[in-house]
Amino acid sequence: MIMNTQINISHKQLFKLSLVGLIAAMLLIAFTRNANAQDRTITLKEAIDLGLQNSKTLKLSQAKIDEAVSQYNQAKDRALPTGSVSFTYDRAQIPYNNLSFGKTSIDLPKSANAYLGIASLNETIFGGNKLKYARQSTDLLTQVSRLDADNNKDQITYDVISSYYNLYKVLQSIKVVNQNITTVDAQIHQSQRFFEQGLVTKNDVLRFQLQKANIQLNGIDLESNRKIINYSLNVLLGLPETTQLNIAEITADTSRAISPLAAYIDTAMANRQEVKQLVLRGRVAETNIKDVQANVLPNVSAGLSGYYVDANGNPLPKIGNFITPVTIGVTASWNFGALWTNKNKVTQAKIQREEVSINQGILTDNVKNEVNQDYQNYLQALDKIKLLQTSIAQASENTSILESKYKSNIASATDRADAETLLYQAQINLELAKADAGLAYYTLLKATGKINK
Protein backbone atom coordinates (compact mmCIF):
# COMPACT_ATOMS: atom_id res chain seq x y z
CA MET A 1 0.00 0.00 0.00
CA ILE A 2 2.75 2.40 0.91
CA MET A 3 4.56 1.56 -2.27
CA ASN A 4 1.43 2.15 -4.38
CA THR A 5 0.86 5.50 -2.67
CA GLN A 6 4.39 6.55 -3.42
CA ILE A 7 3.96 5.58 -7.06
CA ASN A 8 0.75 7.59 -7.35
CA ILE A 9 2.40 10.64 -5.84
CA SER A 10 5.27 10.23 -8.27
CA HIS A 11 2.86 10.24 -11.21
CA LYS A 12 1.15 13.35 -9.87
CA GLN A 13 4.47 15.09 -9.50
CA LEU A 14 5.42 14.04 -12.98
CA PHE A 15 2.16 15.39 -14.36
CA LYS A 16 2.65 18.68 -12.52
CA LEU A 17 6.20 18.97 -13.77
CA SER A 18 5.05 18.24 -17.33
CA LEU A 19 2.30 20.81 -17.05
CA VAL A 20 4.71 23.39 -15.66
CA GLY A 21 7.18 22.57 -18.42
CA LEU A 22 4.50 22.94 -21.08
CA ILE A 23 3.41 26.31 -19.70
CA ALA A 24 7.03 27.44 -19.50
CA ALA A 25 7.61 26.38 -23.10
CA MET A 26 4.52 28.29 -24.24
CA LEU A 27 5.66 31.37 -22.34
CA LEU A 28 9.11 31.02 -23.87
CA ILE A 29 7.66 30.83 -27.38
CA ALA A 30 5.45 33.84 -26.72
CA PHE A 31 8.40 35.74 -25.27
CA THR A 32 10.57 34.81 -28.23
CA ARG A 33 7.92 36.00 -30.68
CA ASN A 34 7.53 39.25 -28.82
CA ALA A 35 11.31 39.65 -28.72
CA ASN A 36 11.60 39.03 -32.45
CA ALA A 37 8.71 41.33 -33.26
CA GLN A 38 9.81 44.90 -33.87
CA ASP A 39 7.55 47.91 -33.68
CA ARG A 40 8.22 50.48 -36.37
CA THR A 41 6.39 53.68 -37.15
CA ILE A 42 6.72 54.45 -40.83
CA THR A 43 5.75 57.40 -42.99
CA LEU A 44 4.23 57.07 -46.43
CA LYS A 45 7.38 58.38 -48.13
CA GLU A 46 9.54 55.87 -46.26
CA ALA A 47 7.20 53.07 -47.28
CA ILE A 48 7.32 54.08 -50.96
CA ASP A 49 11.12 54.36 -50.92
CA LEU A 50 11.47 50.92 -49.32
CA GLY A 51 8.99 49.38 -51.74
CA LEU A 52 10.83 50.71 -54.79
CA GLN A 53 14.23 49.82 -53.36
CA ASN A 54 13.35 46.19 -52.60
CA SER A 55 11.00 45.42 -55.48
CA LYS A 56 11.92 42.27 -57.37
CA THR A 57 9.63 43.39 -60.19
CA LEU A 58 11.70 46.52 -60.76
CA LYS A 59 14.90 44.48 -60.74
CA LEU A 60 13.38 42.27 -63.44
CA SER A 61 12.34 45.37 -65.39
CA GLN A 62 15.91 46.67 -65.25
CA ALA A 63 17.15 43.32 -66.57
CA LYS A 64 14.74 43.64 -69.51
CA ILE A 65 16.03 47.16 -70.20
CA ASP A 66 19.60 45.86 -70.17
CA GLU A 67 18.59 43.11 -72.58
CA ALA A 68 16.95 45.62 -74.94
CA VAL A 69 20.05 47.85 -74.83
CA SER A 70 22.19 44.82 -75.64
CA GLN A 71 19.98 44.00 -78.64
CA TYR A 72 20.29 47.61 -79.83
CA ASN A 73 24.08 47.44 -79.56
CA GLN A 74 24.04 44.16 -81.49
CA ALA A 75 22.01 45.87 -84.24
CA LYS A 76 24.65 48.61 -84.44
CA ASP A 77 27.40 45.99 -84.55
CA ARG A 78 25.85 44.44 -87.65
CA ALA A 79 26.75 47.63 -89.58
CA LEU A 80 30.45 47.10 -88.85
CA PRO A 81 32.79 45.33 -91.32
CA THR A 82 33.17 41.59 -90.91
CA GLY A 83 36.53 39.88 -91.02
CA SER A 84 37.87 36.37 -90.77
CA VAL A 85 41.19 34.54 -90.80
CA SER A 86 41.75 30.86 -91.51
CA PHE A 87 44.75 28.58 -92.07
CA THR A 88 44.47 25.07 -93.52
CA TYR A 89 47.01 22.28 -93.88
CA ASP A 90 46.36 19.38 -96.28
CA ARG A 91 48.50 16.33 -96.99
CA ALA A 92 47.74 14.12 -99.98
CA GLN A 93 48.95 10.53 -100.44
CA ILE A 94 49.07 9.40 -104.09
CA PRO A 95 49.50 5.59 -104.32
CA TYR A 96 49.09 5.56 -108.11
CA ASN A 97 51.08 8.55 -109.22
CA ASN A 98 51.76 7.84 -112.94
CA LEU A 99 49.68 9.28 -115.76
CA SER A 100 50.26 8.03 -119.34
CA PHE A 101 49.23 9.99 -122.44
CA GLY A 102 50.37 7.72 -125.23
CA LYS A 103 54.14 8.02 -125.45
CA THR A 104 54.12 10.71 -122.81
CA SER A 105 53.74 10.07 -119.12
CA ILE A 106 53.72 12.18 -116.03
CA ASP A 107 55.05 11.01 -112.73
CA LEU A 108 53.57 12.64 -109.64
CA PRO A 109 55.10 12.46 -106.17
CA LYS A 110 53.94 9.79 -103.78
CA SER A 111 52.72 12.50 -101.40
CA ALA A 112 52.18 16.25 -101.32
CA ASN A 113 51.65 18.98 -98.71
CA ALA A 114 49.60 22.13 -99.04
CA TYR A 115 49.18 25.16 -96.77
CA LEU A 116 46.38 27.62 -97.42
CA GLY A 117 45.85 30.80 -95.42
CA ILE A 118 43.01 33.23 -96.02
CA ALA A 119 42.34 36.64 -94.48
CA SER A 120 39.24 38.54 -95.59
CA LEU A 121 37.47 41.79 -94.77
CA ASN A 122 33.93 42.55 -96.01
CA GLU A 123 31.82 45.67 -95.80
CA THR A 124 28.18 46.11 -96.85
CA ILE A 125 27.92 49.28 -98.93
CA PHE A 126 24.14 49.16 -99.43
CA GLY A 127 21.82 46.56 -97.98
CA GLY A 128 18.43 48.09 -98.73
CA ASN A 129 18.68 50.15 -95.48
CA LYS A 130 17.80 47.00 -93.51
CA LEU A 131 20.59 47.62 -90.98
CA LYS A 132 19.33 51.17 -90.48
CA TYR A 133 15.78 49.94 -89.87
CA ALA A 134 17.05 47.26 -87.46
CA ARG A 135 18.78 49.94 -85.39
CA GLN A 136 15.69 52.15 -85.38
CA SER A 137 13.43 49.26 -84.38
CA THR A 138 15.62 48.06 -81.51
CA ASP A 139 16.11 51.64 -80.28
CA LEU A 140 12.32 52.12 -80.16
CA LEU A 141 11.87 48.79 -78.35
CA THR A 142 14.48 49.88 -75.80
CA GLN A 143 12.40 52.98 -75.10
CA VAL A 144 9.32 50.76 -74.74
CA SER A 145 11.18 48.66 -72.14
CA ARG A 146 12.07 51.80 -70.17
CA LEU A 147 8.44 52.93 -70.21
CA ASP A 148 7.41 49.46 -69.08
CA ALA A 149 9.78 49.81 -66.11
CA ASP A 150 8.27 53.22 -65.32
CA ASN A 151 4.81 51.68 -65.46
CA ASN A 152 5.90 48.94 -63.03
CA LYS A 153 7.34 51.61 -60.77
CA ASP A 154 4.00 53.43 -60.74
CA GLN A 155 2.15 50.20 -59.98
CA ILE A 156 4.48 49.27 -57.11
CA THR A 157 4.20 52.78 -55.67
CA TYR A 158 0.42 52.53 -55.81
CA ASP A 159 0.44 49.04 -54.23
CA VAL A 160 2.52 50.38 -51.34
CA ILE A 161 0.22 53.39 -50.91
CA SER A 162 -2.88 51.18 -51.05
CA SER A 163 -1.53 48.77 -48.42
CA TYR A 164 -0.35 51.69 -46.29
CA TYR A 165 -3.80 53.29 -46.27
CA ASN A 166 -5.54 49.96 -45.70
CA LEU A 167 -3.37 49.36 -42.64
CA TYR A 168 -4.10 52.90 -41.46
CA LYS A 169 -7.83 52.28 -41.82
CA VAL A 170 -7.62 49.11 -39.74
CA LEU A 171 -5.44 50.72 -37.05
CA GLN A 172 -7.77 53.71 -36.78
CA SER A 173 -10.78 51.42 -36.54
CA ILE A 174 -9.05 49.42 -33.78
CA LYS A 175 -8.32 52.69 -32.00
CA VAL A 176 -11.99 53.67 -32.15
CA VAL A 177 -12.99 50.18 -30.94
CA ASN A 178 -10.70 50.49 -27.91
CA GLN A 179 -12.04 53.95 -27.12
CA ASN A 180 -15.62 52.70 -27.28
CA ILE A 181 -14.86 49.66 -25.13
CA THR A 182 -13.50 52.03 -22.48
CA THR A 183 -16.67 54.12 -22.74
CA VAL A 184 -18.97 51.08 -22.55
CA ASP A 185 -17.03 49.72 -19.55
CA ALA A 186 -17.78 52.97 -17.74
CA GLN A 187 -21.44 52.65 -18.71
CA ILE A 188 -21.58 49.05 -17.49
CA HIS A 189 -20.06 50.08 -14.17
CA GLN A 190 -22.56 52.91 -13.85
CA SER A 191 -25.55 50.76 -14.82
CA GLN A 192 -24.53 48.09 -12.29
CA ARG A 193 -24.43 50.75 -9.61
CA PHE A 194 -27.89 51.98 -10.68
CA PHE A 195 -29.12 48.39 -10.66
CA GLU A 196 -27.88 47.91 -7.11
CA GLN A 197 -29.75 51.09 -6.19
CA GLY A 198 -32.90 49.80 -7.88
CA LEU A 199 -32.90 52.57 -10.50
CA VAL A 200 -32.58 50.27 -13.54
CA THR A 201 -33.37 46.68 -14.34
CA LYS A 202 -30.94 43.82 -14.92
CA ASN A 203 -31.93 43.95 -18.59
CA ASP A 204 -30.44 47.44 -18.85
CA VAL A 205 -27.09 46.13 -17.59
CA LEU A 206 -27.23 43.26 -20.07
CA ARG A 207 -27.81 45.66 -22.96
CA PHE A 208 -24.55 47.47 -22.25
CA GLN A 209 -22.74 44.16 -21.85
CA LEU A 210 -24.16 42.98 -25.19
CA GLN A 211 -23.03 46.23 -26.80
CA LYS A 212 -19.51 45.64 -25.49
CA ALA A 213 -19.51 42.08 -26.82
CA ASN A 214 -20.49 43.28 -30.29
CA ILE A 215 -17.73 45.88 -30.24
CA GLN A 216 -15.21 43.23 -29.14
CA LEU A 217 -16.30 40.93 -31.98
CA ASN A 218 -15.66 43.75 -34.42
CA GLY A 219 -12.26 44.24 -32.78
CA ILE A 220 -11.36 40.57 -33.31
CA ASP A 221 -12.11 40.86 -37.05
CA LEU A 222 -10.10 44.07 -37.29
CA GLU A 223 -7.09 42.52 -35.54
CA SER A 224 -7.14 39.59 -37.95
CA ASN A 225 -7.23 41.98 -40.90
CA ARG A 226 -4.40 44.01 -39.37
CA LYS A 227 -2.14 40.97 -39.16
CA ILE A 228 -2.84 40.04 -42.78
CA ILE A 229 -2.22 43.56 -44.12
CA ASN A 230 0.82 44.06 -41.87
CA TYR A 231 2.41 40.84 -43.12
CA SER A 232 1.75 41.69 -46.78
CA LEU A 233 3.16 45.19 -46.34
CA ASN A 234 6.30 43.80 -44.69
CA VAL A 235 6.85 41.54 -47.68
CA LEU A 236 6.21 44.42 -50.07
CA LEU A 237 8.71 46.67 -48.28
CA GLY A 238 11.34 43.98 -47.75
CA LEU A 239 11.08 44.23 -43.93
CA PRO A 240 11.28 41.31 -41.45
CA GLU A 241 7.97 39.50 -41.41
CA THR A 242 7.61 39.97 -37.63
CA THR A 243 7.79 43.77 -37.82
CA GLN A 244 4.72 45.39 -36.29
CA LEU A 245 4.05 48.47 -38.41
CA ASN A 246 2.52 51.63 -37.04
CA ILE A 247 1.34 54.29 -39.44
CA ALA A 248 2.38 57.88 -38.97
CA GLU A 249 -0.66 60.11 -38.61
CA ILE A 250 -2.17 61.07 -41.94
CA THR A 251 -4.94 63.50 -42.66
CA ALA A 252 -7.17 63.96 -45.64
CA ASP A 253 -6.28 67.27 -47.27
CA THR A 254 -9.68 68.58 -48.24
CA SER A 255 -8.22 71.94 -49.24
CA ARG A 256 -6.56 70.69 -52.45
CA ALA A 257 -7.64 72.60 -55.53
CA ILE A 258 -9.69 70.36 -57.81
CA SER A 259 -9.16 70.97 -61.52
CA PRO A 260 -11.84 70.25 -64.13
CA LEU A 261 -12.11 66.65 -65.36
CA ALA A 262 -10.82 67.59 -68.83
CA ALA A 263 -7.52 68.79 -67.31
CA TYR A 264 -6.94 65.42 -65.63
CA ILE A 265 -7.72 63.58 -68.87
CA ASP A 266 -5.26 65.75 -70.81
CA THR A 267 -2.60 65.09 -68.16
CA ALA A 268 -3.21 61.34 -68.41
CA MET A 269 -2.89 61.34 -72.21
CA ALA A 270 0.40 63.22 -71.92
CA ASN A 271 1.93 61.20 -69.07
CA ARG A 272 0.57 57.64 -69.06
CA GLN A 273 3.32 55.17 -69.93
CA GLU A 274 0.87 52.90 -71.76
CA VAL A 275 -0.06 55.73 -74.13
CA LYS A 276 3.59 56.53 -74.80
CA GLN A 277 4.32 52.84 -75.36
CA LEU A 278 1.66 52.50 -78.04
CA VAL A 279 2.99 55.62 -79.79
CA LEU A 280 6.42 53.98 -79.88
CA ARG A 281 4.95 50.66 -81.03
CA GLY A 282 3.24 52.54 -83.86
CA ARG A 283 6.65 53.85 -84.92
CA VAL A 284 8.06 50.32 -84.66
CA ALA A 285 5.27 49.09 -86.95
CA GLU A 286 6.10 51.84 -89.47
CA THR A 287 9.77 50.84 -89.36
CA ASN A 288 8.85 47.18 -89.87
CA ILE A 289 6.91 48.10 -93.03
CA LYS A 290 9.96 49.89 -94.44
CA ASP A 291 12.17 46.94 -93.46
CA VAL A 292 9.95 44.47 -95.31
CA GLN A 293 9.70 46.73 -98.35
CA ALA A 294 13.51 46.85 -98.44
CA ASN A 295 13.57 43.15 -99.35
CA VAL A 296 13.08 44.07 -103.04
CA LEU A 297 16.16 46.32 -103.15
CA PRO A 298 19.59 45.14 -104.36
CA ASN A 299 22.58 44.64 -102.08
CA VAL A 300 26.10 45.92 -102.72
CA SER A 301 29.13 44.85 -100.70
CA ALA A 302 32.90 45.20 -100.99
CA GLY A 303 35.51 42.70 -99.96
CA LEU A 304 39.26 42.49 -99.49
CA SER A 305 40.91 39.04 -99.31
CA GLY A 306 44.50 37.89 -99.03
CA TYR A 307 45.72 34.31 -99.59
CA TYR A 308 48.81 32.39 -98.62
CA VAL A 309 49.40 29.22 -100.71
CA ASP A 310 52.42 27.00 -99.99
CA ALA A 311 52.97 23.49 -101.37
CA ASN A 312 56.26 22.97 -99.58
CA GLY A 313 56.55 20.31 -96.90
CA ASN A 314 58.24 22.74 -94.54
CA PRO A 315 55.54 24.77 -92.74
CA LEU A 316 57.88 27.76 -92.44
CA PRO A 317 57.54 30.16 -95.41
CA LYS A 318 60.47 30.18 -97.85
CA ILE A 319 60.82 32.57 -100.74
CA GLY A 320 60.00 30.88 -103.99
CA ASN A 321 57.84 28.17 -102.41
CA PHE A 322 54.63 30.13 -101.82
CA ILE A 323 52.39 32.71 -103.40
CA THR A 324 50.22 35.45 -101.78
CA PRO A 325 47.48 36.62 -104.10
CA VAL A 326 45.38 39.58 -102.89
CA THR A 327 41.90 40.24 -104.24
CA ILE A 328 39.67 43.27 -104.04
CA GLY A 329 36.09 42.94 -105.23
CA VAL A 330 32.65 44.47 -105.26
CA THR A 331 29.59 42.24 -105.23
CA ALA A 332 26.13 43.32 -106.34
CA SER A 333 23.17 41.00 -105.82
CA TRP A 334 19.47 41.30 -106.31
CA ASN A 335 16.82 38.83 -105.30
CA PHE A 336 14.28 39.97 -107.89
CA GLY A 337 11.97 37.13 -106.89
CA ALA A 338 10.97 39.35 -103.95
CA LEU A 339 9.11 41.55 -106.42
CA TRP A 340 6.23 39.06 -106.41
CA THR A 341 6.86 37.15 -103.13
CA ASN A 342 7.18 40.17 -100.82
CA LYS A 343 3.82 41.89 -101.31
CA ASN A 344 1.96 39.71 -98.80
CA LYS A 345 4.66 40.34 -96.19
CA VAL A 346 4.16 44.07 -96.69
CA THR A 347 0.39 43.58 -96.31
CA GLN A 348 0.93 41.74 -93.02
CA ALA A 349 3.19 44.51 -91.71
CA LYS A 350 0.55 47.12 -92.59
CA ILE A 351 -2.13 45.08 -90.79
CA GLN A 352 0.08 45.01 -87.68
CA ARG A 353 0.39 48.80 -87.89
CA GLU A 354 -3.41 49.07 -88.12
CA GLU A 355 -3.78 46.83 -85.04
CA VAL A 356 -1.54 49.21 -83.08
CA SER A 357 -3.68 52.14 -84.22
CA ILE A 358 -6.87 50.37 -83.10
CA ASN A 359 -5.28 49.55 -79.73
CA GLN A 360 -4.41 53.22 -79.32
CA GLY A 361 -8.07 54.12 -79.73
CA ILE A 362 -9.15 51.44 -77.24
CA LEU A 363 -6.54 52.56 -74.72
CA THR A 364 -7.58 56.20 -75.08
CA ASP A 365 -11.18 55.30 -74.24
CA ASN A 366 -10.10 53.16 -71.28
CA VAL A 367 -7.85 55.89 -69.89
CA LYS A 368 -10.64 58.47 -70.14
CA ASN A 369 -13.08 56.15 -68.35
CA GLU A 370 -10.51 55.32 -65.66
CA VAL A 371 -9.68 58.98 -65.00
CA ASN A 372 -13.36 59.92 -64.87
CA GLN A 373 -14.17 57.12 -62.42
CA ASP A 374 -11.23 57.96 -60.14
CA TYR A 375 -12.08 61.68 -60.36
CA GLN A 376 -15.69 61.07 -59.30
CA ASN A 377 -14.59 58.70 -56.52
CA TYR A 378 -12.28 61.37 -55.10
CA LEU A 379 -15.02 64.01 -55.13
CA GLN A 380 -17.38 61.53 -53.50
CA ALA A 381 -14.82 60.74 -50.78
CA LEU A 382 -14.43 64.43 -49.96
CA ASP A 383 -18.21 64.86 -49.76
CA LYS A 384 -18.43 61.88 -47.39
CA ILE A 385 -15.89 63.46 -45.04
CA LYS A 386 -17.91 66.67 -44.82
CA LEU A 387 -21.13 64.76 -44.23
CA LEU A 388 -19.61 62.45 -41.60
CA GLN A 389 -18.08 65.37 -39.73
CA THR A 390 -21.57 66.83 -39.45
CA SER A 391 -22.95 63.41 -38.42
CA ILE A 392 -20.37 63.05 -35.64
CA ALA A 393 -21.19 66.47 -34.28
CA GLN A 394 -24.88 65.55 -34.24
CA ALA A 395 -24.23 62.08 -32.78
CA SER A 396 -21.99 63.54 -30.05
CA GLU A 397 -24.66 66.05 -29.07
CA ASN A 398 -27.32 63.33 -29.09
CA THR A 399 -25.14 61.09 -26.91
CA SER A 400 -24.54 63.87 -24.39
CA ILE A 401 -28.27 64.60 -24.16
CA LEU A 402 -29.18 60.93 -23.67
CA GLU A 403 -26.39 60.47 -21.12
CA SER A 404 -27.83 63.31 -19.07
CA LYS A 405 -31.37 61.90 -19.44
CA TYR A 406 -30.17 58.42 -18.52
CA LYS A 407 -28.53 59.71 -15.35
CA SER A 408 -31.80 61.48 -14.55
CA ASN A 409 -33.64 58.23 -15.27
CA ILE A 410 -35.56 59.89 -18.10
CA ALA A 411 -34.06 57.88 -20.99
CA SER A 412 -33.77 54.12 -21.11
CA ALA A 413 -30.54 52.13 -21.35
CA THR A 414 -31.62 51.11 -24.85
CA ASP A 415 -31.78 54.72 -25.99
CA ARG A 416 -28.36 55.48 -24.58
CA ALA A 417 -26.82 52.31 -26.02
CA ASP A 418 -28.27 53.12 -29.43
CA ALA A 419 -26.87 56.64 -29.25
CA GLU A 420 -23.42 55.33 -28.36
CA THR A 421 -23.60 52.84 -31.22
CA LEU A 422 -24.46 55.61 -33.69
CA LEU A 423 -21.58 57.75 -32.47
CA TYR A 424 -19.20 54.78 -32.53
CA GLN A 425 -20.20 53.92 -36.10
CA ALA A 426 -19.92 57.54 -37.24
CA GLN A 427 -16.40 57.75 -35.77
CA ILE A 428 -15.29 54.61 -37.60
CA ASN A 429 -16.90 55.79 -40.83
CA LEU A 430 -15.10 59.15 -40.61
CA GLU A 431 -11.69 57.52 -40.17
CA LEU A 432 -12.40 55.18 -43.06
CA ALA A 433 -13.61 58.07 -45.20
CA LYS A 434 -10.40 60.05 -44.51
CA ALA A 435 -8.28 57.08 -45.56
CA ASP A 436 -10.50 56.46 -48.60
CA ALA A 437 -10.10 60.10 -49.64
CA GLY A 438 -6.32 59.90 -49.36
CA LEU A 439 -6.21 56.67 -51.34
CA ALA A 440 -8.67 58.06 -53.90
CA TYR A 441 -6.36 61.04 -54.43
CA TYR A 442 -3.37 58.78 -55.12
CA THR A 443 -5.53 56.59 -57.35
CA LEU A 444 -6.36 59.69 -59.40
CA LEU A 445 -2.66 60.56 -59.56
CA LYS A 446 -1.88 57.06 -60.83
CA ALA A 447 -4.62 57.33 -63.46
CA THR A 448 -3.07 60.57 -64.72
CA GLY A 449 0.47 59.13 -64.72
CA LYS A 450 1.66 61.57 -62.04
CA ILE A 451 1.99 59.32 -58.99
CA ASN A 452 5.80 59.41 -59.08
CA LYS A 453 6.12 62.99 -60.36
Burial class (CB in 10 A: 0-12, 13-18, 19+), 262: exposed
Q: How confident is the model at residue 255 (pLDDT cuts 50, 70, 90)?
A: low
Does 84 have pLDDT greater than 90? Answer: yes
- Please give the pLDDT value at position 362: 95
What pLDDT was estimated at residue 24?
Answer: 38
CB atoms within 10 A of CB 5: 9
**Cβ-contact 172, 431 below 8 angstroms:** yes
- Residue 37 pLDDT > 70: no
The domain locations on the chain are: 36-80+127-298+337-447
pLDDT over threshold 60, residue 370 = yes
Residue 16, pLDDT > 50, answer: no
At residue 325, φ and ψ (nearest 5 deg) are -70, 145
Least confident range from 35-49, 52-66, 136-150, 282-296: namely 35-49
Range with the poorest average pLDDT among 8-17, 118-127, 215-224, 401-410: 8-17
β-bridge partners, 113: 91
Rounded Cα distance between 440 and 437, Å, is 5
Specify the pairing of strand 82-93 against strand 111-126: antiparallel
Pick the more confident residue, 404 or 304.
304
What is the reported pLDDT for 261?
92
Name the residue with higher pLDDT: 230 or 104: 230
Assigned CATH topology for domain 36-80+127-298+337-447? Outer membrane efflux proteins (OEP) (1.20.1600)
120-144: pLDDT as tens digits? 988 888 777 878 888 888 888 888 8
Q: What is the 3-state secondary structure (H, E, C) of 289-308?
A: HHHHHHHHCCEEEEEEEEEE
What integer pLDDT is reported at residue 333 of this predicted model?
86
How wide is the angle at C-alpha 162 spanned by C-alphas 160 and 164, nearest 5°?
65
d(CA 149, CA 155): 10
State mean pLDDT over 352-373.
94
Q: What backbone phi and psi angles, to 5 degrees, belong to 449?
A: 75, 20
Torsion sign (Cα): 235, 240, 241, 243: negative
Is residue 373 predicted with pLDDT exceeding 90? yes
Q: What is the mean pLDDT of the chain?
A: 82
pLDDT above 70: residue 306: yes
Q: Which pLDDT score, from 0 to 100, does residue 365 have?
A: 95
At 17 the pLDDT is 34
pLDDT at 253: 66
Give the tens place of pLDDT for each residue, 172-200. 888 888 888 887 888 788 778 878 887 77
pLDDT band at 389, cuts 50/70/90?
confident
State percent of the chain over pLDDT 70: 89
User: What's the pLDDT tens digit per position in 87-112?
Assistant: 888 888 878 878 887 778 888 777 88
Tally the residues of the chain. 453
pLDDT at 315: 67
Q: What's the Cα-to-Cα distance from 408 to each of 204, 401, 402, 405, rounded to whole Å? A: 15, 11, 10, 5
Q: In this predicted model, what pLDDT tens digit does every residue of 204-227 receive, in sequence order?
A: 778 878 888 888 898 899 899 999
Q: Which of 11-20, 89-98, 198-207, 441-450 has the lowest mean pLDDT?
A: 11-20
**Mean pLDDT throughout 151-180?**
88
Query: Do 247 and 171 touch, CB atoms closer than 8 A?
Result: yes
Q: Where are the alpha helices (DSSP H) in 238-342?
A: 261-271, 273-293, 338-341
Instruction: Please give the DSSP secondary-structure letter assigned to residue 239.
Output: -
| Residues 451, 453: Cα–Cα separation, whole Å | 6
